[in-house]
Amino acid sequence: MARYVKPVPPAPKPPASADWITKVPSWDMYGNDQYGDCVIAAMAHIQNQAQFLTSGKFTDYNLTQILSMYSAIGGYVPSDGPGGPSDQGCDMLTALKYWKTSGFLGSKILAYMEVDPQNAMQVEQAIAQFGSLFIGVNLPAAVEQFLSWPAPPADLTGEWEPGSWGGHCVPPMDYTPGSQVCVSWGTKLSIADPFFTAYCDEAYVVLFPGWVAANGKSPSGLSLTQLQIDIAAL
């Protein structure tokens, strides 16, 4: 992302807020209450969002389709069942490479860019321009029963230790001063900026052709032609 949004000449500041989540009418769990398929669910949600915002409808993938991608990307063996030996989640970078080369449920991304989760401007520029982020968070046990992820205490130990609950993948699709909103476990969940800074250790933005409508423009005003020129230049 830093190569795409070059500091010289200065890149335009992102808007104070961006909301690419509210208009989407529903979000499926995609089996993430039973399986460790959060990476697969996040990929499906990004495609759902782009489809709806550009066409007014989206494909609500069924669990069989989702698990087929979990098997292809994460090595899940269906006969193991939820919680079985092969239900171990997916590596995000492996998933991105698969999404680009083989496609995800019929759609390929053009490219993906790493975003510095400690750089608030990069995070906001990515969401504002491309509609979402694809992030990994090392969740603390303290938030297991929370409906939002608040600012943590200064001392990240005990139940607030990063990863003490486990790793999770979600797509933030909205930000306002102080927080983002992501899709997690089939619902919208707020992430306070200090929580994001403390626990997000991996972030990417995907360049998804579905983010561009039939008129050649994305909901954020991006041109597919210009985007392809930019990718070639990178």
HEC per residue, the chain: CCCCCCCCCCCCCCCCCEECCCCCCCCCCCCCCCCCCHHHHHHHHHHHHHHHHHHCCCCCCCHHHHHHHHHHHHCCCHHHCCCCCCCCCCCHHHHHHHHHHCCECCECCCEEEECCCCCHHHHHHHHHHHCCCEEEEEECHHHCCCCCECCCCCCCCHHHCCCCCEEEEECEEEEECCEEEEEECCEEEEEEHHHHHHHEEEEEEEECHHHCCCCCECCCCCEHHHHHHHHHHC
| Side chain identity at residue 33, one-letter code | D
| pLDDT attached to residue 231 | 61
Q: Give the CATH number of domain 18-233.
A: 3.90.70.10
| pLDDT attached to residue 222 | 75
Q: What predicted TM-score, i.e. pTM, was given to this entire model?
A: 0.92
| Side chain identity at residue 42, one-letter code | A
The CB density around residue 83, as the number of other CB atoms within 10 Å, is 9
Cross-strand pairs, 172: 182
| pLDDT attached to residue 2 | 67
| pLDDT attached to residue 14 | 87
| pLDDT attached to residue 10 | 56
| pLDDT attached to residue 220 | 86
The CB density around residue 159, as the number of other CB atoms within 10 Å, is 12
Residue with tokens 């079985």: 84
pLDDT under 50: residue ranges of the chain? 8
Residue ranges per structural domain of the chain: 18-233
Bridge-based pairing of strands 172-176 and 179-184 is antiparallel
| pLDDT attached to residue 6 | 57
| pLDDT attached to residue 74 | 97
